[in-house]
Structure 1
Amino acid sequence: MELATTLTSQTVQNAIREIGINPDYWYPVGWANKLQPGHIMPVTIWKQAIAVFRDTGGKLHALEDACAHKGVALHKGQIQGKHLLCPYHGWEFNGAGQCVKIPYLPETHKLPCAQVRSYPVCEKYNLIWVFPGDASLATSIPLPEVPEFDDPDCLMVPIPAHFQAHFTICNENTMDVFHGFLHKNLQGWFDPVLTSLKTTESSVHADYRVSYKGVMTKILGLSDRGDEVTTRTVSLHYQYPHYHSSLEGVSSLYLMRSPMGAAETKSFTLMFLRLNLPKWLVQPFKPLISAYVWRFLFSKFLDQDIEMMESEQRTYSNNPQRRYVEINPAIIALQKVMMRQYEQYRRKTLSSQLSGNQQEESLSLSEAISSGRVESS
């Protein structure tokens, strides 16, 4: 559905800062090359503590980060072959979360029914992904598509980020191209105009016309001269719960969001650039150029954004009843999608709980009838 791009005053519903996630999607938790065989990585996806480990054969597993015996954090344990050993008593769990060995029990002794939750996990684009929701849905929910990942003509710049802010604040920052004012001392963009806005049940697509001028303009290949103003279109596509943005064939950015809690969010971003430099110069030094581009060109932009997002979170935390006004319809559309996804998950969970309660009541009645405590009609 296409929406009007007129900037009109609207009151922000503070409930947006209290919502949780829809867990029935894949969420990134770490860089795949950082987790070596035989090692464990503690992660959190919306208040769920998870121990991700790579067994000695290199296969990934993800278990609830709490031993079924005493609740001790499993990420403090160790890997033995394909299994994770609890650091407290050495209880041994396989990748499915089943306790398969207790070191002080004879091998002939029957093991107790001790199980920890396991999560679907995979790796793609040098990222580790975990599916924290209904595991039966994992195979039907696709990962984001990143076609540039294998493009030899693109320079990939991996960007990690950690925010002390609710994920909705972080998502609004990405959708809000009007905050170029913040980056004026870094020769960022200016004079933004929202030109197109479309939305569906799970997505928002916005186009902004923006202007650039300065050294960054020349480096990014937006213009042959840095002293002239050049105008381009920035396209933002939010497909819950992740982003893709592009700048007219010059750059493409995939921002994968990982909400951790009510005031903590991580993101894992893959930026792809087509630099205005000779290929013979770029190819041999891609890792070095990538690190330079991130550290000296773009990290300062992120630092400024983080300062603003965390300031916004602190103000909200200190006074959740404070009222706010928004004029960007793209932000309002984004908020509606995030609210809708959370409400859909809540309704699904409630329906499942009610169904479970009805089944329990039916079973209890059947047992009462069969035992003679209740007469059937």
Structure 2
Amino acid sequence: MTENRSDEVARGRPREHRNPLPGLPDLRRVGANPDFWYPVALSRGVRSGRVAATAFAGERIALFRGRSGAVHALEDRCAHRQVPLSMGVVDGETLRCCYHAWAYRGDGRISQIPYLSKGDGRPPRGVRAYPVREAYGLVFVFPGDPERAAVTPLPDVPGFASSKYRTMTFSRTVRCHYSFMHENLLDMNHQFLHRGVVGRLQPKLLAYESGPRSVEARYLFTHTGGKRNRSAGLLAAEGIGGRASSDVMTIRTEYPYQTLDLVPEKADHPALRLWAVYVPEDAEQRTCHAYGLLMIEKPRISAALHVAWPFIRHFTERVFAEDRMAVEAEQRAWDEQGEDRNHEVFSLILDVRDVLRTNGVPLGPAATANARACDTRACDDLVP
């Protein structure tokens, strides 16, 4: 059931403050639910006939693209001597371990052991294969129950296929629990952090709604002064022509994904759309890989966006770098304190924490041990 917070926002009376500690599990010890499609690489990072290493929550995964062009995802270990299959060689539609050339099909089954003779020991069946799909220039895997993969849709990314937008893709490692990223994007009261890039922005929370799997907030943004990076105007209501107006920003966590739409004043559709997800890499889930698709509306003079593109990317990278600095500092504090000592007062963020807790899964006691065992960092920034 969806709960609308517009009345209490309008009255200026926040909900009764809830202490996030007593009686509630520490959110930073809640794992991402594996029963969803998660991107683990850029499509262009998995080249034909090549292997790429990646991971989901401490599970190392080897991706390879066979002769047919299809991408396969296998548990990154040979069933023989446990050597990573990501060190292997693609042979047609199979992946050969670099050590003894055991060949694996895309379903994880062993298709050949070159030197095996009749009467030799019985070979193992193979390794785990993950359901895999490609969309939006990303490689998605389903790390949970494989029987649920067929009935679980890929995330919807409106605007990606539209000729009205041009898409910028982001792929960055962030050394924090994925929940910090959800909070950062939803809580637009942190604009002071970006004052050197966007000037003085005044965000006003207009309303928000929350439900079992989602939280959606609408903000009105007004620029009140200070030096503003020109690219910020290109991404907002000023547009290529530089006119001044206000923007309405709608941000939504629909577990486990996030979206953002920015609609200029008097416009009937977004000038900017963002889709993002934060994929845990290590078993303790203190590091995540942020994948983002930023869709920017093309102006009437399309060449103008082409010229502005490098400047827009530089601007977005600066904003992201500042956000990463903040969330990684939050993670370091959690590491030092050994618990979540945050004293959150914003009911919107308390709600998104509830969504992440109730839809996530507990991290098992073996997570720490697994994280130490899974010491490879080959999945960091698969494509520079």
Equivalent in the alignment of 2:254: 239
**CA 1:200–1:256 in 2, change beyond 3 Å: closer, same or farther?**
same
What do the CA deviations read for 1:152-175 (whole angstroms, capped 9, x no partner)?
221211122210001111111111
- What's the CA shift for 1:17? 0.7
**Whole-angstrom distance in 1 between the partners of 2:138 and 2:199:** 29
Residue 153 (structure 1) aligned to one of 155, 161, 164: 164
**CA 1:197–1:65 in 2, change beyond 3 Å: closer, same or farther?**
same
What do the CA deviations read for 1:47-102 (whole angstroms, capped 9, x no partner)?
11111111122111111111111211110111111111112221111111111111
What do the CA deviations read for 1:2-57 (whole angstroms, capped 9, x no partner)?
23444465433370011111100000011102211111111111111111111122
What do the CA deviations read for 1:280-331 (whole angstroms, capped 9, x no partner)?
554xx4xx75444212x21100010111111110011011246221122121
- Unpaired segments of 5 or more residues in structure 1? 347-377
What do the CA deviations read for 1:182-231 (whole angstroms, capped 9, x no partner)?
00110156221222111121111111122136434542351378695x33
Q: Contact between 2:31 and 2:363, CA under 8 Å: does it hold in 1?
A: no
Q: Contact between 1:19 and 1:339, CA under 8 Å: does it hold in 2?
A: yes
**CA 1:59–1:188 in 2, change beyond 3 Å: closer, same or farther?**
farther
Secondary structure (helix, strand or coil) at the match of 1:140 reads: coil
- What's the CA shift for 1:110? 7.9
Residue 270 (structure 1) aligned to one of 278, 293, 300: 293
Equivalent in the alignment of 1:250: 271
**CA 1:264–1:73 in 2, change beyond 3 Å: closer, same or farther?**
same
The answer to whether 1:259 aligns with 2:246 is no
Q: Contact between 1:74 and 1:85, CA under 8 Å: does it hold in 2?
A: yes
TM score, norm. by length of structure 1: 0.83
For 1:174-185, list aligned pairs within 5 A: 174-185=185-196
- What's the CA shift for 1:112? 1.6
**CA 1:189–1:147 in 2, change beyond 3 Å: closer, same or farther?**
farther
142-151 vs 99-108, greater mean Cα deviation:
99-108
Secondary structure (helix, strand or coil) at the match of 2:281 reads: strand
**Whole-angstrom distance in 2 between the partners of 1:305 and 1:277:** 32
**Whole-angstrom distance in 2 between the partners of 1:171 and 1:119:** 26
Q: Contact between 1:189 and 1:210, CA under 8 Å: does it hold in 2?
A: no
Residue 58 (structure 1) aligned to one of 58, 69, 86: 69
**Whole-angstrom distance in 2 between the partners of 1:280 and 1:190:** 29
Secondary structure (helix, strand or coil) at the match of 1:149 reads: coil
Equivalent in the alignment of 1:25: 36
Q: Contact between 2:32 and 2:361, CA under 8 Å: does it hold in 1?
A: no
105-114 vs 239-248, greater mean Cα deviation:
105-114
Q: Contact between 1:196 and 1:208, CA under 8 Å: does it hold in 2?
A: yes
- What's the CA shift for 1:179? 0.7
For 1:223-238, list aligned pairs within 5 A: 223=238, 230-238=245-253
Secondary structure (helix, strand or coil) at the match of 1:128 reads: strand
What do the CA deviations read for 1:322-364 (whole angstroms, capped 9, x no partner)?
6221122121111111110125999xxxxxxxxxxxxxxxxxx
State the one-letter code of the partner of 2:292.
T
The answer to whether 1:333 aligns with 2:351 is yes
**CA 1:158–1:321 in 2, change beyond 3 Å: closer, same or farther?**
closer
Q: Contact between 1:67 and 1:86, CA under 8 Å: does it hold in 2?
A: yes
- Unpaired segments of 5 or more residues in structure 2? 264-269, 365-384
Q: Contact between 1:216 and 1:226, CA under 8 Å: does it hold in 2?
A: no
State the one-letter code of the partner of 2:34.
P
State the one-letter code of the partner of 2:256.
P
**Whole-angstrom distance in 1 between the partners of 2:85 and 2:189:** 44
Q: Contact between 1:69 and 1:114, CA under 8 Å: does it hold in 2?
A: no
**Whole-angstrom distance in 2 between the partners of 1:141 and 1:45:** 18
Residue 96 (structure 1) aligned to one of 71, 85, 107: 107
Equivalent in the alignment of 2:53: 42
Q: Contact between 1:156 and 1:290, CA under 8 Å: does it hold in 2?
A: no
The answer to whether 1:312 aligns with 2:330 is yes
**Whole-angstrom distance in 2 between the partners of 1:192 and 1:266:** 28
State the one-letter code of the partner of 2:295.
F
Secondary structure (helix, strand or coil) at the match of 1:186 reads: helix
Equivalent in the alignment of 2:267: none
Secondary structure (helix, strand or coil) at the match of 1:334 reads: helix
Equivalent in the alignment of 1:349: none
The answer to whether 1:202 aligns with 2:213 is yes
Query: What is the count of residue pairs matched by the alignment?
Result: 340
Residue identity (%):
27
Equivalent in the alignment of 2:132: 121
State the one-letter code of the partner of 1:91.
W
Equivalent in the alignment of 1:139: 150
What do the CA deviations read for 1:222-262 (whole angstroms, capped 9, x no partner)?
1378695x332110111111111101121111112212132
**Whole-angstrom distance in 1 between the partners of 2:199 and 2:318:** 11
RMSD: 2.4
**Whole-angstrom distance in 2 between the partners of 1:245 and 1:218:** 17
